[in-house]
Amino acid sequence: MIKFNYKLNKNFTKKIDHDFILSSMLISAEKVKNECCQQDYKNANFLIKLLTLANLRKLVFCKPEFFSHWVGLIYNNLPILADRYHQELIFKNANVDYNLINLNANSAQVKARIIEYGSYLLVELSRLYFIYDSKISRYLFNELRKEMTVASVKKTLRQMKLLSEGNSKILSNKKSAPHIVYPLWVNSFQNIFDYKKLSTKFGYELVKASGLRVCPYCNAETIRTIDGIKKHRPDIDHFLPKSKYPFFAASIFNFIPAGSACNRSFKGSVDVLTGYIHPLITGIDDVKLFDFNYDMINSCVQININDIDCFDNNRKLFEIDAVYQDPSYKEIYLSTRKQYKILKDAKPDENIFNDKDLMDTYFYTNKTNQNRVNMKFEREVLSDVIEHVENRR
């Protein structure tokens, strides 16, 4: 919702380079490359080219405009990593009919149709295995081949559907996990991009460098950095979840200081690579988001959210409609209207909205969306109130 920028000085970026990239990432990368050369020569050539010092630096300081480039480059050339970390990218390419999952096998003809489809599934799973080096596809293939029944075919389809939707529970399931084995380097790959190490050393400075005091996703939750005897900093959200994109786990411009509601309760590990607003690229600061329907007779107001195409996915993900239906927002509107009318009645012949000192004092118009909670809402409330009061509506 709210756009912001990091202000990173050269000394700070040099510290990240020296104390994290050179002293941690590069060492871990060498270890992973050695593991790959020993166990997986097929992928070693590209991995060696990928994990150079220059590329590690590019990934750490990668601007969000180039996220898609790196995702395509890495997962297209090392699909085994997608199979391990982001199965949706592989299983969305499966040519299967998931409608069969709900087909009622109440006749011999339907049962035969489903079992026959199982043979096609074996072919499709083999295709995914050979094209994408998919260990999961290989596991599903072996399990289905052991027992070709209506139940097993439907089970395989359900598992493939879940994988195509981004559900990776198959890798943590006690029955399946031991049979899905990756080369050691694949599991170690995520250790190169050690977010915990980076955030422990630089987390507070990064949050301060953002200039944010408010969650940029909703503008409705205060985020604070407390640097006392005991310390506290707000959540740092990975815009692209590190579970799906481990190579962005330590990327500065993938970090969004955020409120706990947006980060933990709403966003989680949803893949927002496409179709979502990234607050380091753009925001809707200058777009009218709220619509107010004021009832003068009953002195009440109805608050609605305007449709904004580019914001629609963010709006749903971060529960913007529900957030701004809290009764406190109606109170803000009514209080602002009352205060403005008092000021206007005191100076009926003046355009008080042009009095900067007055507006700053009573309505905080000198504050920004980045440093005052609910400022976007309050700014739009004030605009609506001015229009109504000045026009005697």
3-class SS letters over the chain: CCCCCCCCCHHHHHHHHHHHHHHHHHHHHHHHHHHHHHHCHHHHHHHHHHCCHHHHHHHHCCCHHHHHHHHHHHHHHCHHHHHHHCCHHHHCCCCCCHHHHHCCCCCHHHHHHHHHHHHHHHHHHHHHHHHHCCHHHHHHHHHHHHCCCHHHHHHHHHHHHHHHCCCCHHHCCCCCHHHCCCCHHHHHHHHHCCHHHHHHHHHHHHHHHHCCCECCCCCCCECCCEECCCEECCEEEECCCCCCCHHHCCCHHHEEEECHHHHHHHHCCCCCCCCCCCCCCCCCCCCCCEEEEEECCCCEEEEEECCCHHHHHHHHHCCHHHHCCCHHHHHHHHHHHHHHHHHHHHCCCCCHHHCHHHHHHHHCCCCCCCCCCCHHHHHHHHHHHHHHHHCCC
What's the confidence (pLDDT) of residue 328? 97
In terms of Cβ atoms closer than 10 Å to its own Cβ (0-12, 13-18, 19+), residue 342 is: exposed
What's the confidence (pLDDT) of residue 226? 86
Is residue 220 within 8 Å of 323, Cβ to Cβ? yes
pTM to 2 decimal places = 0.91
The C-alpha atoms of residue 267 and residue 273 are separated, in whole angstroms, by: 13
Pairing of strands 231-232, 255-258: unpaired
What's the confidence (pLDDT) of residue 347? 87
**Token pair 């598992």 in the structure block, residue:** 159
What's the confidence (pLDDT) of residue 393? 47
**Nearest to 317, CA basis, from 238, 355, 261:** 261
What's the confidence (pLDDT) of residue 154? 95
**Nearest to 285, CA basis, from 216, 354, 363, 239:** 216
Chain center to CA of 40: 32
144: its two tokens:
């289905």
**Quick one: angle between helices 67-77 and 41-50, nearest 10?**
160
pLDDT beneath 50, residues of the chain: 393
The C-alpha atoms of residue 193 and residue 208 are separated, in whole angstroms, by: 22
Q: How far is CA 371 from CA 10, 184, 226, 278, 357, in A?
A: 24, 46, 15, 18, 19
**Nearest to 278, CA basis, from 61, 65, 8:** 65
Q: Rounded to 10 degrees, what is the CA torsion of 133, 139, 140, 143?
A: 150
The C-alpha atoms of residue 346 and residue 350 are separated, in whole angstroms, by: 9
Is residue 118 within 8 Å of 156, Cβ to Cβ? yes
